[in-house]
């Protein structure tokens, strides 16, 4: 096989689909790996790092995508990238197809592209082994982002993220107790914030409370509880995720309109369409806007600016599946490994394991 690693072209995406340490995984089985010139710069990897590991440097995106049988990306391809793909290729990456434009799905179908979404790889126990570490990274990063946005110079209310003598700690509300929400809750609590976590699954809340050494309030995510918690919140984090589906709306405009002025809402589900009625995609260059007097941060792919950490995490988590593809090829790996097969979005002109396709009309798609 020929493996292609293109440079990511989405704004503020600094990660890369394969680090130099991953090249030998494929060359050990006599596969050829083409890496686009400069693909690893954002993650701190030079072209020399790749060539010394055994890769071949390609000098254009056309060359990488035109040669490859398997393309290793991080983010969903842009429209111009889709046009460069040739028929019957295989793509791996974090694709969030549930929030993609319909015409992009149609190109993949027409070209009979097989897409394997890392976020949908699921083992027999219901665990998402590649998504989980990426979600943990997002959960930690959201705390860093919130701390900055609460500063006066970023438009916030001038509140320290922490507990200091003589001043009350910030009130943080997290909706969703999965990997992103649970990690964020523990990190916020560790900083000294007063944390309230809501989820529709009582077992998740029980697990979070049992596993955390930090004090936090847990509530069932009923409409009454969500409304009440948001009324006193300084920060609200939306961390809901339904695999393969658009994120449900958990905060209405009416609830947001009743929040404190210059409170902060951070939509970590914006990659899947957003979970606040007032959400619209922003970017790291212009991360916030104000709606109903509340500061909104809705940056898709928020950890994209952690190029090196994110790249290492992806490779570590995806290693068993990439190794299976290197050993057996794509077709046999899909047949032999159910977890990998569950990650397939499109397969040679057919839709698989994708519950809903929507056009959210956002700048991200």
**What is the percentage of the chain residues whose pLDDT exceeds 70?**
96
pLDDT value of residue 360: 28
For domain 131-304, give the fold.
Answer: Rossmann fold (3.40.50)
| Amino acid 356: pLDDT | 38
Domains 2-121+307-351 and 131-304 share a fold: yes
DSSP secondary structure letter of residue 229: H
DSSP letter (8 states) at residue 296:
E
Q: State residue 357's pLDDT score.
A: 37
CATH topology of domain 2-121+307-351: Rossmann fold (3.40.50)
Rounded distance, CA 29 to CA 24, Å? 8
Q: In what order do the strands lie in the sheet with 194-199?
A: 217-220, 194-199, 171-175, 235-238, 264-267, 294-297, 288-291
DSSP-derived secondary structure for 156-210: S----SS-BTTBPPPEEEEE--SHHHHHHHHHHHHHT-EEEEEES-HHHHHHHHH
Q: Which of 96, 194, 267, 296 is catalytic?
A: 96
**Distance from chain centroid for Cα 102:** 20
Give the CA distances from residue 348 to residues 20, 116, 142, 173, 356, in Å, rounded to whole numbers and listed in that order: 30, 12, 37, 43, 18
Q: What is the pLDDT of residue 332?
A: 97
Interval 320-325 mean pLDDT = 98
Q: How far apart are CA 190 and CA 163, in angstroms?
A: 10
Q: What predicted TM-score, i.e. pTM, was given to this entire model?
A: 0.88
Around 361, how many Cα atoms within 13 Å sit in the side-chain half-sphere? 1
Residue 211 burial (CB count, 10 A)? 9
Q: Would you kindly state where each structural domain of the chain is located, as residue ranges?
A: 2-121+307-351, 131-304
For every residue of 320-355, DSSP letters joined together read HHHHHHHHH-HHHHHHH-HHHHTTEEEETTEE-S--
Q: Which residues contact 153 (CB under 8 A, 6 or more apart)?
A: none
What is the percent of the chain where pLDDT is above 90? 84
> Is the predicted pLDDT of residue 157 greater than 60, yes or no?
yes
Separation of alpha carbons 46 and 42, rounded Å: 9
Q: Would you place residue 362 in the very low, low, confident or very high pLDDT band (cuts 50, 70, 90)?
A: very low
pLDDT at 364 over 80: no
pLDDT at 120: 93
Cβ atoms within 10 Å of 285's Cβ, excluding its own: 8
96 catalytic, yes or no?
Answer: yes
Which of 235, 151, 156, 154 lies closest to 197, judged by CA? 235
Q: What is the pLDDT of residue 363?
A: 28
Distance CA 89, CA 66 (A): 10
Residues whose CB is less than 8 angstroms from the CB of residue 305 and which lie 6 or more positions away in sequence, other chains included: 12, 14, 284
Average pLDDT value over all residues in the chain: 92
**Mean per-residue pLDDT, 302-319:** 96
pLDDT at 177: 95
Give the whole-angstrom CA distance, residue 81 versus residue 62: 9
pLDDT at 354: 58
Pick the closest to residue 4 from 15, 14, 21, 18 (CA basis): 18
Looking at residue 352, its pLDDT comes to: 80
* pLDDT band with cut points at 50, 70 and 90 for residue 13: very high
Q: Which is catalytic among the residues 199, 234, 267, 271?
A: 271
Is it the case that residue 71 has pLDDT exceeding 50? yes
Quickly state the pLDDT bin for 313 (edges 50, 70, 90).
very high
User: Residues 220-245: pLDDT tens digits?
Assistant: 999 999 999 999 999 999 999 887 78
Query: How many other CB atoms are there within 10 angstroms of residue 294's CB atom?
Result: 23
d(CA 195, CA 172): 5
Say whether pLDDT at 38 is over 90. yes
pLDDT per position as a tens digit, 86-126: 999 999 999 888 777 888 888 999 999 999 999 999 999 99
Whether 355 shows a pLDDT value over 80: the answer reads no
- pLDDT for residue 361 is more than 70: no
With contact defined as beta carbons under 8 Å apart, do 66 and 11 qualify?
A: no
When pLDDT is cut at 50, 70 and 90, the band that residue 353 belongs to is low
Q: Give tens-digit pLDDT for 239-261.
A: 998 877 889 999 999 999 999 99
Is residue 65's pLDDT more than 60? yes
Residue 212 pLDDT level (bands cut at 50, 70, 90):
confident
């Amino acid at each position: 096989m020929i493996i292609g690693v293109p440079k990511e072209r989405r704004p503020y995406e600094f990660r890369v689909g394969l680090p130099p340490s991953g090249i030998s995984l494929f060359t050990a089985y006599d596969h050829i790996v083409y890496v686009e010139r400069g693909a690893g710069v954002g993650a701190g990897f030079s072209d020399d790092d790749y060539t010394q590991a055994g890769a071949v440097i390609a000098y254009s995106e056309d060359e990488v995508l035109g040669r490859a049988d398997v393309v290793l990306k991080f983010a969903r391809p842009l429209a111009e990238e889709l046009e460069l793909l040739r028929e019957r290729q295989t793509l791996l990456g974090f694709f969030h197809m549930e929030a993609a434009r319909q015409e992009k799905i149609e190109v993949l179908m027409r070209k009979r592209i097989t897409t394997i979404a890392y976020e949908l790889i699921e083992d027999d126990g219901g665990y998402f082994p590649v998504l989980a570490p990426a979600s943990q990274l997002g959960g930690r990063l959201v705390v860093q982002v919130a701390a900055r946005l609460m500063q006066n110079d970023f438009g916030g209310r001038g509140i320290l993220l922490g507990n200091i003598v003589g001043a009350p700690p910030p009130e943080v509300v997290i909706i969703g107790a999965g990997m992103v929400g649970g990690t964020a809750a523990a990190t916020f609590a560790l900083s000294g914030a007063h944390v309230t976590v809501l989820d529709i699954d009582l077992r998740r809340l029980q697990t979070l409370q049992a596993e955390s050494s930090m004090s936090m309030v847990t509530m069932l995510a009923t409409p009454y509880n969500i409304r009440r918690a948001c009324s006193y919140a300084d920060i609200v984090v939306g961390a809901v995720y339904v695999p393969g589906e658009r994120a449900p709306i958990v905060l209405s405009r009416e609830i947001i309109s009743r929040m404190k002025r210059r409170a902060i809402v951070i939509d970590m589900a914006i990659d899947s369409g957003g979970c606040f009625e007032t959400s619209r995609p922003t970017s790291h260059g212009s991360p916030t806007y104000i709606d109903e007097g509340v500061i909104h941060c809705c940056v898709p792919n928020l950890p994209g600016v952690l190029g090196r950490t994110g790249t290492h995490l992806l490779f570590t988590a995806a290693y068993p599946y990439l190794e299976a593809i290197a050993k057996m090829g794509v077709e046999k790996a899909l047949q032999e490994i159910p977890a990998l097969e569950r990650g397939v979005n499109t397969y040679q002109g057919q839709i698989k394991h994708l519950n809903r396709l929507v056009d959210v009309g956002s700048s991200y798609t």
